[in-house]
Structure 1
Amino acid sequence: MRPLKDAKLGAFTFFASALPHDVCGSNGLPLTPNSIKILGRFQILKNITHPRLCQYIDISRGKHERLIVVAEHYERNLNDFKQGQRASPEKVLQIAYEVLEGLEFMNRHGLVHRALSPNNVLLDCKGNVKLAKFGLYHMTDHGADVDFPIGYPSYLAPEVIAQGSSHPSDPSHDEAPHPSGPKTDVWSLGVLLFELCGRRLLQNIDISERLKFILTLGCMDDIVTVFAEEHGCLDTIKELPENVLDFLRKCLTFLPSKRPTPAELLGDPVFGGISCQYRPFQRPVSLFSSSLRCASLELPEDISDLCKDDDGDYLAERGIDEVYHLWCLAGGDLEKELTNKEIIQSKPPICTLPNFVVEDGESFGQGRDRSFLLDDTTVTLSLCQLRNRLKDVAGEAYYPLLEDEQSTLSQSSSSNELSSTVTLPLIIRERDTEYQLIRIILFDRLLKAYPYKKNLVWKEARLDVPPLVRGLAWAALLGIEVGTFRPSTTASTRTPPFPLTDRWIEVDIPRCHQYDELLSSPEGHTKFRRVLKAWVVSHPDLVYWQGLDSLCAPFLYLNFNNEALAYACMSAFIPKYLYNFFLKDNSHVIQEYLTVFSQMIAFHDPELSNHLNEIGFIPDFTNLFFFFLVCYADVFPLHKIFHLWDTLLLGNSSFPFCIGVAILQQLRDRLLANGFNECILLFSDLPEIDIERCVRESVILFRWTPRSATYRQHAQLPKPTGDNGFGKPASYFSSDYQDMPKTDLSREPLALCDLKAEASPRISAEDLIDLCELSQAGLPKRNKSGKPKIVAVDIRSSEDFSRGHVSGSINVPFSSVFNPDGELVQCPATGALHTYKGSVIVVISHAVKSAIIFASQLVKVNFPRVCVLDGGINKLKLTGLLTVPSPQI
């Protein structure tokens, strides 16, 4: 997105055509409002960037099908050449060339302006052309979705006028008029240039007479001369150089077949001395493109020129989309701005009724409210409030230093108030103008340095992710490689059909987050199909399962104009968190996943686990699995998914377990007080969940969970060392147990039947060594309460314990709790063990079976964080880390 520089933010509004309320589409669903269709088509216009085109920024939908468009704007336009003040031939050719540059670039992207007029040919501070409202014809589907014609009658080409005024929904017309082509704009340009040369504004002439005159031009040989005679400026036109007159004749060619296109006119000899003054436009390189980002970088001969500070307007150097985002955060209101300029006029409802009938049958009424007609006025949005809000932000904040050792946030501003903002709830931070400015600038610099600053992106994302850059930040967190993903966006039309998959996709898409205006638009549905079909085609070993659309939705929303990046993110997300979930036969994967989740509930909340087991409420019988299948993407609205996934993407494949436990703990009181049927109903209509609390608690749960406790045999296969190209994971939090090289101390896979028989999870010997710091022969780590964070409970006999045990472990012989028949004779939670309640308890024995029995008994008496050492004490004997008590003298 280009910098703001000397541009302004402008807003204009119009109404989409209203649809009947009692009509449904062929699928039985209500028709999509035209305003939603326009909103979807508008999005691609934000990607159209060219020096001769005003940048589109945003569109918002209001009441009664009202749409408000925000775009780059300038105060000056061709109307500044007042009637009677003729532009010089050189200036006319400059304007013509720059307009043609913009039109030719639009044509290459399949766009036609169709609304050229002096008001829409803006001039920046240097007098260069900027075409405005060039996307109105595209976003309205060639005028089909609005009740007004696109374009101005005085500038419309003869073939457009000959088609007449019609509407695609008008039953009197068999088909809609053909869309205008690039040559339509060439005629409009010719009329504009004629006005500049002839000192005459043609729009002041009576429109009906004007249309009749244009339709009679077909039999004229020299339309320019006829134009000049009709408008009384023949002498002025004759004074023009012959090459300029010849150029005007080419533009004002009556037959479209003989009229040149903008691309052809750019090569006209009349521009021989002008074209050399303009450099070819090079499209900015996107972040994940395979092209070099700095290939066209040119530095001045004197580097000090880069450091010159003319006026200290740092905000003007930021992207125009950033400025608009901050303007909204600073209290900007589009409808209020348009209302203040009387573009939007509110009236009491009774005054807007079209007509009414009194008792005697006499009808009274009024014509259509003129406030619903098109007003093409563009209102300039004032940035005073935003600049006043940011006046205390130091200039250094706009150019933060990227240091690996310390946070850049504290360096960004000396304001104590800004530093304290970090401790506020996330929803408040996302609405704080100064804070978001700092975070956006920081992430922008880090992402431009991706992948070299990937670890810093991960570090800053732990604090929060600015909404404006969330799409690119997620791609960086997922490790998307530059220039790797190039899926075909037309996979649904180029590949063989998959009847069953296609039918599922067609059924799922109209139900996926359709409250969102963007995803519910026809353009959104089309993009859904392309990305989903591309994933199905490129993963032949996997199949489409219901819920894949929900996984796609957040990535598509954030990368609506970059389907390749949305596909790449989804393709990286699924193997990391949902490995093999989309196999045709995924029952073994599901069963293992749900079993591990049950063990996680018992590990963190044994009381809740015992209650759910008593009432038979196990994950297999609920829709909890669907929560995991879509990583909660179908359970929560998009704004909550964003906050949840901001943290989820920082964790490994076991983090969804912690989120699931955190959700259950928010519902804990209701679950403990109800039976099976009530609990089922509770999950069928999930109550409001505090996402920020859920994220906060899930992180705490994750840190209390040993890495190997969530080991799954069917999780993602380990990656070869150095295969990802980014080095080691950023921390323990982001690394996966499955990614670690396997040793003799690693956890062994279990058969599913054995896994289901165990209430508590197992941990590996290497985890025990790491958590107890046995390599340093020191005391176990302790938490804030003074208790050790982890304690090893050795249930072997006293004699075996004395021959060698884990340093710091306690001995609770199995025989003191259970008799030889396996019957409980004493509660294991009594005595010394009771003081360790709340620590991670690792049960160690010769035979793992006895350790499982002992651990399950601890869970029954509501002992949290109980796990079993996989392989028992035998795995530790060869390490040389077991200690023997010194003999007493």
Structure 2
Amino acid sequence: MRPLRDAQLGAFTFFASALPHDVCGSNGLPLTPNSIKILGRFQILKTFTHPRLCQYVDISRGKHERLVVVAEHYESSLSDFQRQGKTASPEMVLKVAYEVLEGLEFMNKHGMVHRALAPNNVLMDHKGNLKLAKFGLYYMTDRGGDVDFPIGYPSYLAPEVIAQGSFHASDPSNEEAPLPSGPKSDIWSLGVLLFEMCAGRRLLHNIEISERLKFILTLGCMDDIVTVLAEEHGCLDTIKDLPVNVLELLRKCLIFLPSKRPTPAELLGDEVFNEISCLYMPFQKPLSLFSSSLRCAHLELPEDISDLCKEEEDYLSERAIDEVYYLWCLAGGDLEKELTNQGIIQSKPPLCTLPKLKDVGGEAYYPLLEEEQSSLPQSASSQDLSTTVTLPLIIRERDTEYQLTRIVLFHRLLQAYPYKRDLVWKDARVDIPPLVRGMAWAALLGIEGDIQAKYEGIDKDTPIPTDRQIEVDIPRCHQYDELLSSPQGHVKFRRVLKAWVVSHPDLVYWQGLDSLCAPFLYLNFNNEALAYACMSAFIPKYLYNFFLKDNSHVIQEYLTVFSQMIAFHDPELSNHLNQIGFIPDLYAIPWFLTMFTHVFPLHKIFHLWDTLLLGNSSFPFCIGVAILQQLRDRLLANGFNECILLFSDLPEIDIERCVHESIKLFSWTPKSATYRQHAQPPKTTAVTDGNGFGRPGTYYFSDYQDMPRTDLSREPLALSELKAELSPRISAEDLIDLCELSLAGGGKRTRAGRPKIVAVDVRSAEDFNRGHLSGSVNLPYSSAFGPDGELVQCPGTGVLHSFRGRVIVVISHAMKSGTTFASHLVKVNFPRVCMLDGGIIKMRSTGLLTVPSPQI
């Protein structure tokens, strides 16, 4: 998107054709409303950025198939010049022709034509440069088939367009649609427009429409159409006095037969523009963030940085058009209300009221990425924003000034990606502005390189066996959303999903993959390559090998670890669910197979994934536990059948609360407690310390699997052995890191000043005295359990009560005794119980075991 500068935001509205309510398509589903089809096709128009085209910004769908389109707008147009009744100079005619042809040629390269070219759709900025408006109306309405009005103006339509007559896709009497208008149709319209400029009057303006059309069709038998038109309008002398190149231009445009008429590209290279073409620089497409091209930015700063922020500067006009519109909406802008306030709905009134942004200090538009280097004084508004950060996310996302500062900051960070990747992570921990969420997610997923070339190199057209299942799934995936339910949305869904299937031959398409694709496609609707790249990076990180043809071992291990996480964080709930037989296999597979996209609507997924993408592959376990805890009271009060019914129609979940609880749970979970042997293999990436959210200054974190493997790491377990254990295991290195070997030495402590972790050694007193971990507590297994493993006394009373709430690590000599001891603690509702993998044997090689001092 280019900057707003002197442009305004304009809107125009129209109605799509209504479809009958009692008709279904060939698939048995209701027909897609034409307004939804138009909304889907419109999206690609937002990506077209060219100096000769008015930038499209947004489209909204209202009642009764009403559509309102927002686009770049200027008050001046060629209609203003026509109303003056003056003839244009030859220089102006050539300038208008060349600039219009530039815009038309760009459209043609993207397979589009204007079809509605007329003076009122040729706008002029304050420098006199031309901008074509409404150039996408013909395309978005499927060549006029989705609306009940013709696209174009009769006086400017080419003869071949008039000869075909009108057509409506909803009219059953039309067996075949007319041929679509080609680039040469716009050349005729341009010729009529240029002729009017030269003649100083409107062509056929005072003649009835039917007579105009008849006259234009009779021009086919004329040798010199320009002369005939001049004679008809009494301006033959004016036309004859035109320079040869201008007259030749008119004649080349107003050729009756389209086969002999030039295209915009051919006319641009014609010798009639020899003198003017050298004044224009070829259009350079803006560089994409993800491409093989080198990007650079002008980063020179003035000596006095405060010179950047002058009171008289209009900083907002330098922001992108889509940003300004987004902020206008946040400030209370309402499209239909604005148009209604004018008495009639029309496109002329500009949408440019942004009262809440007038007082924003200039420093907000030039954020320094290193805060300690900032020499700018803090404005009152900036100080107010520091309190906004503490407000709920849904309020922050509707605060206009706050969103402005966040958008500007993220725009700058993303422009510096991947160099400033760490700062993207850091600021994403606060929140991600919805406007830049797609790019921010791509940065969090580490997307780099020429993704477009890679995507284009994938065969998405050759039929494959999966095509049938994809076709069945797409019409059921998040179809409440207008964008994803549009035909264009279905096409893009199909292409991205098929690209993933084809490019991952070792994996297969499972139901749920479409739900995973939905958030990425929605955020990158006009960039399929980025949607595919994000999806391809997301799946191995969070769903490694979930899409194998036989994924049972992967799923079962995942669900078992999830069961252990429930027992670790909420043993009472875990005990109840196990007692009634309501195991994760019955409800959690759709959660994790789709990373909750099958459970929640998109607006909740966006907030959930904003945090999920900051966590490692174990963070989904914490989300799952947080969801269960929101339903805790109802689950504890119900039996198996009631729980099944509860999850068949999941109650409303507070996503912001779920996110906060997930972060809290994650910070209490030892890194190695969620170890899975079927997780993604180690990557050669930098490893940050800590497990993340709970530690200030840590803004991203790797999986435990990415840690260098040592003798103190967790060992893989057979699935049957893993399922037999109620509590998770942690590695020796994790234990050493968490307790720092000295409870009295100021190790990891809670806010109350107590240690966060306690090691409970269940070996005999004799073994304990031969060597133990400093600060550990000795509670011999034999004192609680008899020789046959029966419970002798309850360790839930007495000394263990003082440790309730901390992470309790059970250390044993044989894992069987440790497992039994830990399981009993869970059964008497002790939270955060885990076991040391490998027992005390793992610690002996460390040299960290101590023995009691002899008593004198």
- Amino acid of the structure 1 residue aligned with 2:100: V
Q: Does 1:650 align with 2:614?
A: yes
Select 1:846's aligned residue among 795, 802, 813. 813
Report the alpha carbon displacement of residue 486 of structure 1 after superposing the two structures with TM: 3.4
When residues 490 and 686 of structure 1 are mapped into structure 2, their CA distance, relative to the original with a 3 A threshold, is farther
Q: CA deviation at 1:604?
A: 0.2
Partner of 2:348: 379
Render the CA deviation track for 1:548-606: whole Å, top value 9, x for unaligned. Answer: 00000000000000001000000000000000000000000011000000000000000
Q: What's the offset of the Cα at 1:331?
A: 0.5
Q: Does the CA contact (< 8 Å) of 1:477 and 1:649 recur in 2?
A: yes
Partner of 1:717, secondary structure, is coil
1:632 alignment partner in structure 2: 596
Deviations 1:448-493 (A, max 9, x none): 0000100100000001000000000000000111225634459565
* TM-score (normalised: structure 1): 0.92
1:52 aligns with 2:26: no
Q: Does 1:802 align with 2:769?
A: yes
Contact 1:397/1:411, CA 8 A, preserved across alignment: no
Aligned pairs, how many?
A: 848
Change (3 A) 1:603 1:298: closer
Matches of 1:302 and 1:769, distance apart in 2: 51
CA-CA distance at 1:881 after TM superposition? 1.2
Larger CA deviation: 226-235 vs 119-128: 226-235
Please name the residue that 2:27 is paired with: 27
- In structure 2, relative to structure 1, the CA distance for the partners of 1:264 and 1:301 (3 Å cut) is farther
1:560 aligns with 2:525: yes
**Alignment partner of 1:216 out of 215, 218, 240:** 218
Take 1:845 and 1:269, find their aligned partners in 2: how far apart are those partners?
A: 91
In structure 2, what is the equivalent of residue 285 of structure 1? Answer: 287
- Deviation digits for residues 105-138 of structure 1 (CA, Å, limit 9, x no counterpart): 1101111000001100000000010000000000
Structure 1 CA distance for aligned equivalents of residues 602 and 96 of structure 2 = 46
Q: Report the Cα distance in structure 1 between the residues aligned to 2:795 and 2:302, rounded to whole angstroms.
A: 80
- After superposition, give the CA deviation of every residue in 1:339-388 in whole Å (9 maximum; x if it has no partner): 112234xxxxxxxxxxxxxxxxxxxxxxxxxxxxxxxx41333423x1x2
1:596 aligns with 2:596: no
1:270-669 residue pairs with structure 2 within 5 A? 270-294=272-296, 311-344=312-345, 377-384=346-353, 386=354, 388-403=355-370, 415-484=382-451, 486-488=453-455, 493-495=460-462, 497-499=463-465, 501-620=466-585, 622-669=586-633
1:101-112 equivalence runs, <5 A: 101-112=102-113
Cross-structure match for 1:153: 154
Choose from 660, 669, 682 the match for 1:696.
Answer: 660
Kindly indicate whether the alpha-carbon contact (under 8 Å) linking 1:708 and 1:762 is maintained by their aligned counterparts in 2.
yes
Q: Measure, in 2, the Cα distance between the counterparts of 1:303 and 1:774.
A: 52
State the distance in 1 between where 2:685 and 2:145 align: 57
Whole-angstrom distance in 2 between the partners of 1:682 and 1:426:
28
> How has the CA–CA distance of structure 1 residues 734 and 338 changed in structure 2, closer, same or farther, with 3 Å as cutoff?
same
Partner of 1:266: 268
Change beyond 3 A, Cα 1:262–1:775: farther
For residue 815 of structure 1, report the CA deviation from its aligned partner.
1.2
Structure 2 runs not aligned, ≥5 long: none
Q: CA contact under 8 A between 1:400 and 1:412: conserved in structure 2? A: no
Whole-angstrom distance in 2 between the partners of 1:172 and 1:843:
80
Structure 2 partner of 1:131: 132
Residues 489 and 530, structure 1, Cα contact 8 Å, conserved in 2: no
Q: Which range moves more in the overlay, 772-781 or 324-333?
A: 772-781
- Report if aligned partners of 1:579, 1:716 keep a CA contact under 8 Å in 2: yes
Task: State whether residues 186 and 262 of structure 1, in contact with CA within 8 Å, keep that contact through their aligned partners in structure 2.
Answer: yes
| Superposed displacement of residue 624, structure 1 | 1.0
Q: Could you say which residue in structure 1 is the equivalent of 2:181? A: 180
Q: Determine what percentage of the aligned residue pairs are the same residue.
A: 79
* Deviations 1:189-211 (CA, angstroms, capped at 9, x unpaired): 00000110001112622222211
Question: Could you tell me how far apart the structure 2 residues matched to 1:684 and 1:407 are?
Answer: 54
Q: 1:852 to 1:599 in 2, by over 3 A?
A: same
Shift, 1:775, TM fit: 8.3
- Tell me the equivalent position of 2:672: 708
The one-letter code sitting in structure 2 at the alignment partner of 1:522 is: P
Decide whether the 8 Å contact of 1:780 with 1:791 is kept in 2: no
- SS, match of residue 130 in structure 1: strand
Tell me the equivalent position of 2:707: 740
- 2:672 and 2:656 mapped to 1: Cα distance? 27
Matched-pair contact (CA < 8 Å) for 1:412–1:438: no
Q: Which residue of 2 aligns with 1:792?
A: 759
Counterpart secondary structure, 1:3? coil
- Amino acid in structure 2 at the alignment position of 1:161: I
Gaps of 5+ in 1: 345-376
Task: Find the aligned partners of 2:299 and 2:280 in 1 and give their Cα distance.
Answer: 16
Please name the residue that 1:368 is paired with.
none
Distance 1:393 1:308, change over 3 A: closer
Paired AA for residue 112 in structure 1:
V
* Contact persistence 1:83–1:201 (CA under 8 A): no
Deviation at 1:884, TM superposition (A): 2.0
The answer to whether residue 730 in structure 2 is matched with residue 749 in structure 1 is no
- Shift in Å, 1:774: 2.3
8 Å CA contact 2:9–2:71 kept in 1: the answer is yes
Shift of the alpha carbon at 1:412? Answer: 8.1
Letter paired with 1:49 = T
Once the two structures are TM-superposed, the CA of residue 781 in structure 1 deviates from its matched residue by: 2.1
Task: Give the residue type in structure 2 aligned to 1:219.
Answer: C
Question: Does the aligned pair in 1 maintain the 2:73–2:350 contact within 8 Å?
Answer: no
Asked if 2 retains the 8 angstrom alpha-carbon contact of 1:251 and 1:260, the reply is: yes
SS of the residue aligned with 1:784?
Answer: coil
Map 1:844-883 → 2, pairs under 5 A: 844-883=811-850
The C-alpha deviation readout for 1:615-667, integer Å capped at 9, x for no partner, is 011112x1311111000011000000000000000000000000000000000
1:144 corresponds in structure 2 to 145
1:408 positional shift:
12
Distance 1:307 1:590, change over 3 A: closer
Q: Taking structure 1 as reference, are residues 52 and 413 closer, same or farther at Cα in structure 2, changes over 3 Å only?
A: farther
Cα 1:791–1:775 shift into 2, 3 Å: closer
Distance 2:572 2:375 in 1: 44
Separation in structure 2 between the aligned mates of residue 52 and residue 303 of structure 1, nearest angstrom? 37
Which amino acid in the other structure matches residue 11 of structure 2? A
Query: Is the aligned partner of 1:671 residue 2:672?
Result: no
Cα shift at 1:298: 12
Query: Is contact 1:487-1:534 (8 Å) kept?
Result: no
Aligned partner of residue 68 in structure 1, secondary structure: strand
TM-score (norm 2): 0.96
- 3-state SS of paired residue (2:483): coil
Distance 2:165 2:500 in 1: 45
Change (3 A) 1:734 1:89: same
CA contact (8 A) 1:54 1:72 kept: yes
Partner SS, residue 627 of structure 1: helix
* Compared CA separation, residues 720 and 808, structure 1 to 2 (3 A): same
Give, in whole Å, the separation in 2 of the partners of 1:436 and 1:310.
21
Determine the structure 2 residue equivalent to 1:113. Answer: 114
Distance 2:527 2:193 in 1: 36
Match of 2:482, SS?
coil
Indicate how the Cα distance of structure 1 residues 639 and 125 shifts in structure 2: closer, same or farther if over 3 A, else same: same
Cα pair distance change 1:391/1:170, threshold 3 Å: closer
The equivalent of 1:357 in structure 2 is: none
Query: 2:62 maps to what in 1?
Result: 62
Residue-by-residue CA offset, 1:675-706 (whole Å, 9 max, x unaligned): 00100111110000000000000000000000
Shift of 1:315: 0.2
Q: Deviations over 1:423-447 (max 9, x none)?
A: 0000000000000000000000000
